[in-house]
Amino acid sequence: MPSNHQATSPDDENPDIVVAAIREFLALDIGLTTEQAAAIERRLKERYGDQRLRVKKKLHYSDARANGVALSETLRTQVYQAGLTAKTDKEITSQFGISRATLYRWMKSPPAK
């Protein structure tokens, strides 16, 4: 992302949620390039700039299965691979936004190839 962005921290009175979210995506190291991140930032700010938006506390993607939305097999594979490392359950569930029960269920059998 361009370097002219101010730091966004939870302590900021009015944090830039777009910048904070993109930083989180980049930190996950999921293959998002800085060019893609900049394009996402531009699109979101063009669409929602200067609007007051609400960030709901309820997790959308962690609850996807309960809402009838299938999570991708790619995500399941990534979670399974992470489960084979030395990462803790808490690290994995936080990284992928899944519950511990989902992690345990997915670790019981390898994902389909």
- Written as tens digits, the pLDDT of the chain (113 aa) is 444 444 445 556 777 888 888 998 888 888 889 899 999 999 999 998 888 888 776 665 655 555 444 567 788 888 999 999 999 999 999 888 888 998 999 999 888 76
Question: 72: which residues sit within 8 A by CB, 6+ positions away?
Answer: none
pTM of the model: 0.43
Give CA–CA dist 81/73, Å, rounded: 12
